[in-house]
């Protein structure tokens, strides 16, 4: 557990996320995040803030010094996610998760959430998915 695997996957869908995300975010652009790549982090949820204007998830990641630490991951608002089937209980402190994030461009530990895989294998999506297609399954 808590081995850190950085996978910089050039998802084809990243392009569509770039188009969609600015529309879906009411109050800021995605300029501080690198929306052209995703990074996979594995770690333990410290806390999930079900708050406006964005949810915030703090993930404790162990491993090599370069990647270990606390990640601040911004997500869509509780208003949006609540309408997409999430709740304030969707992520809990102590949950071991794998998360796909669009990393901060400046190298600090954090980013914007793409999706999160829960301990039971359920995948929760933060961003809208075009036509219901699972982006992680897109070739």
Partner 1 sequence: MKKPFGIMLAALALGSAALALAADAPKPTPSRPPTAADWAALAKLPDWSGVWEVDWRGQRRVAPPPAAAGAAGGPPRMMRAQMKLKPQYQAMAAAYRAGRQKGENIQGEGANCVPPGLPGIMSQPYPIEFLFTPGKVVVLIEAYMQFRHIYTDGRKHPDDPDPTFMGDSIGHWEGDTLVVDSVGFNDTVQITPGVPHSDKLHIIERIRKVDPEWMEIQTTLDDPDVLEEPYTTTASFHHLNDDIREYICVENNHDSTDDKGRPGFSVEDKK
Q: For binding to partner 1 (CB under 8 A), which residues are involved?
A: 20, 23-29, 31-33, 46-47, 49, 51-54, 56, 58, 70-72, 74, 77-80, 82-84, 104, 108-110, 128-130
User: The tokens 């991951």 sit on which residue?
Assistant: 73
**Distance between CA atoms of residues 68 and 99, nearest Å:** 14
Euclidean distance between CA atoms 84 and 131, whole angstroms: 14
Nearest Cα residue to 78 out of 49, 110, 115: 49
- Between residues 24 and 62, which has the closer beta carbon with respect to partner 1? 24
Nearer to partner 1, 4 or 72 (CB): 72
Q: Residue 72: how many CB atoms within 10 A of its CB? A: 15
CB nearer to partner 1: pick between 22 and 119: 22
Residue 100 or 126 with smaller CB distance to partner 1? 126
Provide, rounded to whole angstroms, the least separation between the CB of residue 125 and partner 1: 10
Q: How do the residues of the chain divide into helix, strand and coil, expressed in percent and rounded to 5?
A: 15, 35, 50
Residue 89 C-beta: closest distance to partner 1, Å: 17
At its nearest, how many Å lie between partner 1 and the CB of residue 100? Answer: 18
């Amino acid at each position: 557990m808590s081995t850190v695997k950085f996978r910089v996957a050039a998802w084809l869908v990243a392009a569509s996320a770039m188009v969609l995300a600015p529309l879906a975010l009411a109050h800021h652009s995605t300029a501080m995040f690198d929306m052209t790549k995703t990074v996979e982090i594995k770690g333990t949820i410290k806390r999930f803030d079900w708050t406006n204007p964005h949810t915030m998830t703090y993930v404790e990641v162990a491993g090599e010094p370069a990647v270990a630490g606390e990640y601040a991951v911004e997500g869509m608002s509780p208003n949006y996610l609540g309408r997409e089937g999430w709740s304030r209980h969707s992520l809990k402190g102590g949950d071991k998760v794998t998360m796909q994030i669009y990393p901060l461009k400046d190298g600090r530990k954090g980013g914007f959430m793409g999706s999160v895989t829960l301990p039971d294998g359920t995948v929760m999506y933060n961003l809208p998915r075009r036509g219901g297609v699972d982006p992680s399954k897109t070739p």
